[in-house]
Each structure stands twice: as structure tokens, then as C-alpha cells.
Amino acid sequence: MLLFFTHCSYLPGLIFYQLKVHSRIHSGEKPFSCTLCSMSFANSDHLKVHSRIHTGEKPFSCSLCPKSFAHANHLKVHSRIHTGEKPFSCTLCQKSFSHSHHLKVHSRIHTGEKPFSCSSCEKSFSDSSALRQHSRFHTGEKPFSCTLCPKAFAQPNHLKVHSRVHTGEKPFRCSLCEKSFSDRSALRQHSSVHNRENSTAVLSAQDP
């Protein structure tokens, strides 16, 4: 391999091999093609990583849990779940995030930007996943199916709440009495009973 320095108008100082690979950004050349699908790549390493989609290979394993990943960077991001590291901070508020994409989506709260528009109505959203979930109201798609009964749901959190019908799990506990509930909205509705009782008690105490 030649190791002398050459020149790119945009990135001067690249060695010969680096320049050859880098030049494909400008030329659009993608000589490394996947034999299992239509994708092609400018770099052989990118093809190697892509091929793991087809093979299911996940060579990067977490040392703290059973999860493994096809890409080293995905493992790096995942590890922040265990370490609690949140290196991406919002410059407008105190929030910080483990992933740069989450910060990008969060920043739209401050800017009001909603770049993802529904093609069936006038609604728009700050991130693509919110649009994807919304679109199911129009299509009627319910991809999240219960494994214990025929019910299916448009959103994964709805399936999660439903599953508690089968498991009996009630993780939302009232702080004023012994009752617990399977979802947060039921707890909110219940707590309003205490609020009404407190209001009645205050009014009764004020009566002469």
C-alpha cells in the first residue's frame, strides 16, 4: 500500500488508500454489492456490517446483560443503560440524553419544529416514530398482538397495559390507600375520588 500524502479539495492530507475510499463520497461509486439484496456500499467494511442483517450475526456482546449487537457503536450506546451516562446535553434546559438522536428529537420541543407530516390529515410530529404510530389510526394496522388472547394493538404500550389483565400485575399504587392499578390513568381516576373527599371534608369543616 502506498503511504504518501496526496490531496482532496475538501479534505487535504489523506493517504492514497484513504483518498481512494473517500473519493467515492464525491463520485457516488459503490463497488461492494450485497449478494442477498440490492444494497451496495462504497466501503467493504460497510458491506460486512450490513451482511449481519441477513446472517443474524451479533459479535458485540454486552458484559452486563445477555444482549448482543451487530455493530460496535450499537453496543456502545446500549452500555449507557447500565452506566447511566448521558453525554448529549440540551443547551436550553437541564435535560441530557444517552443518544444524539434523542437530543435532536428533544430540541424540537424548544424550536416547535414538526418535520414529519401525516399524508392523510393535517397533523405533524416532531419525530418519525410518533408519525408511524399516528398513521395506524388511519390504516387500522395493529401490529402488536397479545400472545394469550386474540387482541391486537396499534401501540406497544397499549399491549403492555393489556398484558396486565393476564398477569394480574398492578404496578400503580395509591399513596393514600391500599389500592393499586394496572395502568396510570386508572390510578389518576381513582385519586380524584380522594380529592373530592378532601374537598367535601374542607367544606364541612367550614360550616358553622
CATH number of 144-199: 3.30.160.60
Whether the Cβ atoms of residue 130 and residue 118 lie closer than 8 Å to each other: no
pLDDT, tens digit, for every residue of 62-75?
999 999 999 898 99
| Amino acid type, 11 | L
What CA–CA distance (Å, rounded) separates 33 from 140? 37
| C-alpha cell read off for 62 | 454486552
- Same fold for the domain at 16-55 and the one at 60-139? yes
Give the number of other CB atoms < 10 A from CB of residue 187. 19
Q: Say whether pTM exceeds 0.85.
A: no
The secondary structure of 14-32 as a DSSP string is -BHHHHHHHHHHHH----E
Q: For residue range 31-89, what is the model confidence (pLDDT) as tens digits? A: 788 988 988 888 888 888 888 889 989 999 999 999 999 989 899 999 999 999 999 99
Homologous superfamily (CATH) of 16-55 is: Classic Zinc Finger (3.30.160.60)
Annotated domain spans of the chain? 16-55, 60-139, 144-199
CATH topology for the 60-139 domain: Double Stranded RNA Binding Domain (3.30.160)
